[in-house]
Chains A and B, each alone.
Chain A
Amino acid sequence: MICDRIREQIPECLAGRLDPAAREKVIDHLDTCSACRADMAELGVVWRGLQSMPELEPSPAMRTRFMETLAAYQEGYQEAQRRQVYAAPPKRWWVGLWPAHPAWQAAFSAVLLLAGVMGGRYLAEPRPVNTINPELAQMRGQIENLRQLVTLSMLQQDSPSARLRGVTYSYQVTQPDQQVEQALLHAVNHDSNVNVRLSAVDALAKFGNNPEVRRAMIDSLPVQDSPLVQIALVDLLVQFNAKDALPALRKLAEDKEANESVRQRAASSVQKLEASH
């Protein structure tokens, strides 16, 4: 029992955190107990060994990322505060409208009461509050920014599965962002893994309103070496109803070196786009 209590104090003793009286007690016990003495010796070796283990430093990029996040947060917070709608101070313009005669005052009050009752009926339904919660807006901006950062970071990973996750993550970016868009286009054109390219094509569907994205996809058609990716691009262009893709699609449909399935899909897409006039 005494040994248990003494041994529980060994880490503090080794760390030099025991007060002198407690330390004295431990030393006294060690003088008389060889088992605890052996325990202290063993744990002392381990404790000092831990001390000699070198500590790693985080990469400088970690601080950069933090500062970007903090700046985005501050920006969102300030923006939300600027937009906050404050109640305007009451004006006294109505004072002059108040009649002086008591009879008119009573009539005016009755009219106001009636108007209040009638107005209340129409206004009884709940309406959206015309104020912006600064904290909520700030958090939304922050989360959006983080999503973009995560997406961009994952799309640059060495591992194809990480890049795939990055593409999937891009679906959560609700605000169209040029950097994310460019990163996805880069993945479509240059990623070494066909699955990543295919996923990136799908992810670009949400950027269909952007003519630059459509143009980049059209340009990508002839340079893709994977028929699967080509077909995915063709389908997406039809989905966008991208008539400016017609020349490229006709060319692909007639390209003898292209994959048979790709040629057929391109030809049917040309028909669909032409029919949609």
Chain B
Amino acid sequence: MQEVRAGNVGKLETLFDRYNRPLFRYFMHLTGNRAASEDLVQEVFFRILKYRHTYQAETSFRAWMYQIGRNVYMDQAGKRKGEVAMPEDAGEFGSSDTLQDRQVQNKQEAVLLRRALAALPREKREVLVMSRFQDLKYDEIAAVLKCEVGTVKVRVYRALRELGTRFFELGGERAS
């Protein structure tokens, strides 16, 4: 990123290749929409280019990138007020070859989990996605959300707890 910042903008291709997939999946979890997620990824990299001078070398590039990603998503979500991020392609996750090889019960559970995740309030879904799928450390999430690490810890737990409650309610049963 430091080379990009110095004006070697061609190096952004390397960063794109490294981060476009996780970023796309992050937006998929937030929007449930493939086309919208791809547009959001484009917008993030465009803003990285535009605001490259504001990047500070001592900060984590991932955290900075997700900070931009979050702003981009919030801007878009603001324009589409009233729309709820539901998985328009709820079956899409369940239609991959990997899943087809599994037991029917596992398939159903995966679909239920995806539904439960999509039904979580945006703030909870977001923090859970960053922690679980993007593998961001708590201090990185704290930088993205501009809050304390302790707050992130509590939020991730509460998000996971609510996801669990919704998941078991959808399945009509509770573990234990």
Shortest Cβ gap from B72 to chain A (Å) = 14
Contacts of B96 in A (CB 8 A): 54
Partner pick for A70 among B9, B28, B161, CB 8 A cutoff: B9
- Find out whether the CB atom of A49 lies under 8 angstroms from the CB atom of B109: yes
- Find out whether the CB atom of B113 lies under 8 angstroms from the CB atom of A49: yes
- Find out whether the CB atom of A49 lies under 8 angstroms from the CB atom of B24: no
Q: Give the secondary structure class of A's interface.
A: helix
Alpha-carbon gap, A62 to B36, bound state (A): 11
Alpha-carbon gap, A205 to B110, bound state (A): 53
Alpha-carbon gap, A51 to B117, bound state (A): 13
Shortest Cβ gap from A149 to chain B (Å) = 9
Q: Determine whether B81 belongs to the interface, using a CB cutoff of 8 Å to chain A.
A: no
Contacts of A77 in B (CB 8 A): 9
Contacts of A146 in B (CB 8 A): 46
- Find out whether the CB atom of A10 lies under 8 angstroms from the CB atom of B42: no
Given A54-B93, A56-B34, A70 contacting B12 (CB threshold 8 A):
yes
Given A10-B160, A43-B160, A54-B96, A62 contacting B153 (CB threshold 8 A):
no
CB-contacts of A1-54 with B (<8 A) = 7-12, 15, 17, 38-39, 41-43, 45-47, 49-54
Alpha-carbon gap, A139 to B53, bound state (A): 14
Q: Determine whether B132 belongs to the interface, using a CB cutoff of 8 Å to chain A.
A: yes
- Find out whether the CB atom of B164 lies under 8 angstroms from the CB atom of A58: no
Shortest Cβ gap from A205 to chain B (Å) = 27
Contacts of A17 in B (CB 8 A): 137
Alpha-carbon gap, A52 to B93, bound state (A): 10
Q: Determine whether B3 belongs to the interface, using a CB cutoff of 8 Å to chain A.
A: no
Q: Determine whether B67 belongs to the interface, using a CB cutoff of 8 Å to chain A.
A: no
Alpha-carbon gap, A57 to B37, bound state (A): 11
User: How many of chain B's residues have a CB under 8 angstroms from any CB in A?
Assistant: 49
CB-contacts of A192-213 with B (<8 A) = none
**Chain A 131-172: CB-based contact to B (< 8 A → 1; otherwise 0):** 000000001001000100000000000000000000000000
Q: Which of B16, B153, B164 has the most chain A CB within a 10 Å cutoff?
A: B164
Q: Determine whether B114 belongs to the interface, using a CB cutoff of 8 Å to chain A.
A: yes
- Find out whether the CB atom of A11 lies under 8 angstroms from the CB atom of B176: no
User: How many of chain A's residues have a CB under 8 angstroms from any CB in B?
Assistant: 41
- Find out whether the CB atom of A53 lies under 8 angstroms from the CB atom of B110: yes
Q: Determine whether B104 belongs to the interface, using a CB cutoff of 8 Å to chain A.
A: no
Q: Give the secondary structure class of B's interface.
A: helix
Q: Determine whether A69 belongs to the interface, using a CB cutoff of 8 Å to chain B.
A: yes
Shortest Cβ gap from A35 to chain B (Å) = 10
Q: Determine whether B88 belongs to the interface, using a CB cutoff of 8 Å to chain A.
A: no
| Chain A minimum-CB-distance residue to B163 | A46
- Find out whether the CB atom of A42 lies under 8 angstroms from the CB atom of B34: no
Partner pick for A9 among B37, B113, B132, B153, CB 8 A cutoff: B153
- Find out whether the CB atom of A58 lies under 8 angstroms from the CB atom of B113: no
| Chain B minimum-CB-distance residue to A65 | B42
- Find out whether the CB atom of B157 lies under 8 angstroms from the CB atom of A56: no
Given A9-B153, A10-B157, A11-B160, A58 contacting B38 (CB threshold 8 A):
yes
- Find out whether the CB atom of A52 lies under 8 angstroms from the CB atom of B110: yes
**Chain A 52-75: CB-based contact to B (< 8 A → 1; otherwise 0):** 111111110111011101100110
Contacts of A52 in B (CB 8 A): 106, 110
Contacts of A74 in B (CB 8 A): 9-10
Given A41-B175, A66-B16, A73 contacting B160 (CB threshold 8 A):
no
| Chain B minimum-CB-distance residue to A150 | B39
Alpha-carbon gap, A69 to B49, bound state (A): 10
Q: What 7 A-B pairs come out closest when comparing CB atoms?
A: A58-B24, A54-B96, A38-B176, A46-B164, A62-B38, A8-B157, A42-B175
**Given A12-B153, A66-B41, 8 other A-B residues pairs in contact with their CB atoms under 8 A:** A15-B131, A38-B175, A39-B161, A47-B132, A53-B114, A56-B28, A58-B20, A146-B46
